[in-house]
Structure 1
Amino acid sequence: MIQSVQRAAQILRELAATGPRLGVTELAERIGVAKPTAHALLRTLETEGLVVQDPESSKYALGPGLVRLGNAYLDGHELRTRSMIWADALATRVNEAVWVGVLTGDHLLVVHHVFRPEGAVQILEVGATIPWNTCALGKAIVAFGSEATETELLGGELGVLTGASVSDPEVLAEQLADARSVGYAIEDQESALGDAGVAAPVFVRSGDVAGAIGVVGPVERLLSESRREEIAVAVRETGRNLSRELGATRGHTRRAG
């Protein structure tokens, strides 16, 4: 492991998590290095466009170069590319917004977002990260992923975004087991009050979970008795169709490793 690269990555993570701006002294303390070392790392990152320095405060913030890297990641992401047609079709079928996400550490990263066809003004959520346990997509991925990953995540820090967020490992384990039994996971106002989600896993040829696809929207529409089953069926079928396009067989459920 190259220490300078690791420290540079730590700086970027600190700016992303704490932001919007931090000074050299603050960053040096946070990553545990001398001030001159932090300054040298920041100047290098600034040269590459990964951080920018505010001329008035002399503090640093994330730079535009990260946007280009992020877009390149999304453009080259196979699940995102393959999911576009299926996500559009699902949004049209249920008349709701659709997200496609992947697991990055203990968070769900939204890699594709289709707006609700007949909705009002909506905010594009591509690039958003959410604690895995507070959203249906994260639960779907963990429920059908490896047992080792589930154990690790249940034993780690569990995010809380609303009063409905579930942070009890035993309750979450039951929810994951329920998701495996029906083929989809549900979120009920756990990441944002008033919103809900229904998501299904997406598998690849190896049997691994590549991510998840799901419907998001107001809880009164998604989880009402009249629509919940309809949406769940549509989401589950879309997940299976997308999985087949990625080479998965019908028999995939989860991996023990």
Structure 2
Amino acid sequence: MARSIQSLERAAAVLRLLAGGERRLGLSDIASTLGLAKGTAHGLLRTLQQEGFVEQDAVSGRYQLGAELLRLGNSYLDVHELRARALVWSDDLARSSGEAVYLGVLHHGGVLVVHHVFRPDDSRQVLEIGVMQPLHCTAVGKVLAAYDPVAHAEMMDAERESFTERTLTSEAALEECLELVRARGWASDVEETWDGVASLAAPILDRRRLTVGAVGVTGAVERLYRDGELRPELVASVRDCARAVSRDLGAARF
């Protein structure tokens, strides 16, 4: 079994103590409760304070949880709620489309897959929850880059790898593509990431009408396309799914 890191264990104990006890605690209270020397406790608190996880009251000198910890907690809850709200709708989309469904959010300059519904057939498939996908050449990524300024900036600042001969990598080509995404309300990827594979996706909005994720389907080009065009009923299903999840998150009708 891997050895734990004592300083991290102690820092976690400090945060749990501040979260579960009185609103503010002094250095002596924290040190005595956790069985730490005052110098050790003070060093932990100072580091946590520098990172924004702990705040010190200027008058009393007592400590409380900081805003950065709250921000991280809200980020987790947002993603958790997004996935929870999308479960039923994404299952319905997989059944109606006959294709695999992905739910993605922006994470460290890419798309983090937070939910994946298998294609409803007997084929062998690999669960891809937790997988990172690129922003510039996936339908889900393009949706995020089109509607989220942070995602757009991260995509433009990153080194954009060419996965196939169809992958768009130039800034001008991508900007033109994103303008089309905003005009249509959905994005597509036709063999830009994998040969023979296409995808399409639409944005998910929250109650503030901010884009918090994207949902889409992925499958073989010959199944998603008909007469050289994406099947219109498939586009409608993906957009309906995105709207339904958005409404569940509190977004007004759109």
Q: What TM-score results when the alignment is normalised by the length of structure 1?
A: 0.65
Asked if 1:100 is matched to 2:103, the reply is yes
Asked if 1:184 is matched to 2:186, the reply is yes
- Aligned-partner Cα distance in 1 for 2:190–2:124: 22
Unaligned runs of 5+ in 2: 1-6, 9-75
- Supply the RMSD in Å over aligned alpha carbons: 2.2
- Aligned-partner Cα distance in 1 for 2:154–2:217: 27
Partner of 1:39: none
Q: How many Å apart are 1:149 and its aligned residue?
A: 4.2
Q: How many Å apart are 1:123 and its aligned residue?
A: 1.1
- Aligned-partner Cα distance in 2 for 1:203–1:115: 24
- Aligned-partner Cα distance in 1 for 2:214–2:154: 19
Q: How many Å apart are 1:221 and its aligned residue?
A: 1.0
CA contact (8 A) 1:213 1:239 kept: yes
CA contact (8 A) 1:74 1:80 kept: no
From 223, 226, 240, the equivalent of 1:224 is 226
SS in 2 for 1:198: strand
Partner of 1:237: 240
SS in 2 for 1:77: helix
CA contact (8 A) 1:221 1:227 kept: no
- Aligned-partner Cα distance in 2 for 1:126–1:83: 14
From 195, 198, 201, the equivalent of 2:197 is 195
Asked if 1:247 is matched to 2:247, the reply is no
Letter in 2 for 1:185: A
Partner of 1:43: none
CA contact (8 A) 1:155 1:169 kept: no
- Aligned-partner Cα distance in 2 for 1:244–1:222: 26
Q: How many Å apart are 1:153 and its aligned residue?
A: 2.4
Partner of 1:173: 175
Superposed structure 1 runs of 4+ greater than 3 Å apart: 73-76
Could you give the per-residue CA deviations for residues 150-186 of structure 1, whole angstroms, max 9, x where no partner exists?
A: 2452243223222222111111111111111111100
- Aligned-partner Cα distance in 2 for 1:149–1:227: 25
- Aligned-partner Cα distance in 2 for 1:145–1:113: 22
1:26-41 to 2 correspondences below 5 Å: none
CA contact (8 A) 1:97 1:216 kept: yes
Q: How many Å apart are 1:220 and its aligned residue?
A: 1.3
- Aligned-partner Cα distance in 2 for 1:210–1:228: 26
- Aligned-partner Cα distance in 2 for 1:130–1:210: 16
SS in 2 for 1:100: strand
SS in 1 for 2:125: coil
SS in 2 for 1:133: coil
- Aligned-partner Cα distance in 2 for 1:234–1:182: 14
Q: What TM-score results when the alignment is normalised by the length of structure 2?
A: 0.65
Could you give the per-residue CA deviations for residues 55-108 of structure 1, whole angstroms, max 9, x where no partner exists?
A: xxxxxxxxxxxxxxxxxx699711111111000000111111101011112211
Partner of 1:113: 116
Could you give the per-residue CA deviations for residues 11-62 of structure 1, whole angstroms, max 9, x where no partner exists?
A: xxxxxxxxxxxxxxxxxxxxxxxxxxxxxxxxxxxxxxxxxxxxxxxxxxxx
- Aligned-partner Cα distance in 2 for 1:154–1:228: 30
Letter in 1 for 2:88: I
CA contact (8 A) 2:106 2:112 kept: yes
Letter in 1 for 2:114: V
Q: How many Å apart are 1:144 and its aligned residue?
A: 1.6
From 110, 122, 125, the equivalent of 1:122 is 125
- Aligned-partner Cα distance in 1 for 2:112–2:154: 18
From 162, 165, 173, the equivalent of 1:163 is 165
